[in-house]
Amino acid sequence: MKTLCVGMMVCDTMLAPVPFDILQRDSATIRPPSRSCGGDALNVALGLAKLGNRVAIAGRAAPDENGKFLEAACRENGVDTRWIVWDTESSTAVTYALIDQKGERHFLSENSIFHRLEAGDISQEALKEADIVYFGSAMSMEKMDGGGIEKLFRQARSQGKLTVMDAAVNGENPGRDWMKVISPALTETDIFFPSLAEAIQLTGQREPEKIAECFRQFPMRLLGIKLGSQGCFVTDFHTSRRLSCPPGIRVTDTTGAGDSFMAGLICGLSKGWDGYTSAGFATCVAAKNVEAYGGTGGIPSFKEACSFYESCKENL
């Protein structure tokens, strides 16, 4: 099966370790900065490729140094780059990821190019070739939130594709009724798996079970909520489960933790596994990823991920 990942493409510069009181200091010493790929869609695409899946990326980047870096990284990892839209009127999105002494990350970004992506950018040939269509950033891309996701997913489902969506917390419009905004997209979504913070922003509820009730109105097959170090909550609206993270994980960098989870989830779904098994596998992929630096730096091979999952699935 082949997955088409649509959405954010970002060039990340990783800075670590950043002291908690850096704004009260004149200076601090860090390790040599490293450049890596970032953004929900790109991280998931690279994660899927590392797990041995066929995958393509569709998003906007500029033909600048950062855009060329992202394209080269995709090609090196076997990600199909034919559907990237090269935008000559913007710059490739960039983020400086400040990683603190506990491995948590804090972002400084310039991503105005995100709001230029629209449904018409996604080639019909790209949709035709895909079996799964993933959109990674609901609530953060103006034209896609304003009808673009709905149009893309409606086209995908009309061709028998599985639609999978994630979200991103929007700090610029915290008071907006995001559930109303993306409800049209949710009616065309088979699987929705936001983080707890994103689910709270959408529903105003804080408990996974209550959050799930807010989404019961939509005809999706599976709803999940990523709970960070607490694992995840998964429901098909008949049965619900909470899955824990694997024990003994040494957190180095949480950048891309949610994206690596989504890569693991989609990988499992592409193998024909049920949603609960796929989510359990995804927690293991994410756990391995946070033990290394970068959005996809710790993603294991499919064989390694399966072995790790088998060793700890009884404890999830």
Report the pLDDT value the prediction gives residue 160, as an integer from 0 to 100.
98
CA angle 215, 218, 224 (to 5 degrees): 45
Chain centroid to Cα 40, Å, comes to: 4
Instruction: Look up residue 146 and give its two tokens.
Output: 């304003």
* Cα separation, 266 vs 164, whole angstroms: 8
Report the pLDDT value the prediction gives residue 172, as an integer from 0 to 100.
81
Query: Residues 16-45, buried b or exposed e (16+ Cβ, 10 A)?
Result: bebeeeeeeeeeeeeeeeebbbbbbbbbbb
Report the pLDDT value the prediction gives residue 104, as an integer from 0 to 100.
81
Query: Residues 113-149, buried b or exposed e (16+ Cβ, 10 A)?
Result: bbbebbbebbeeebbeebbbbbbbbbbbbebbbbebb
Closest CA to 132 of 273, 276, 286, 311: 273
pLDDT in tens, the chain (316 residues): 999 999 999 998 889 999 999 999 999 999 999 888 999 999 999 999 999 999 999 999 999 999 999 999 999 999 999 999 999 999 999 999 898 988 787 889 999 999 999 999 999 999 999 999 999 999 999 999 999 999 999 999 999 999 999 999 887 877 899 999 999 999 999 999 999 999 999 999 999 999 999 999 999 999 999 999 999 999 999 999 999 999 888 888 787 899 999 999 999 999 999 999 999 999 999 999 998 877 898 999 999 999 999 999 888 8
Instruction: Look up residue 89 and give its two tokens.
Output: 């009127």
Task: Return the amino acid letter for 286.
Answer: A
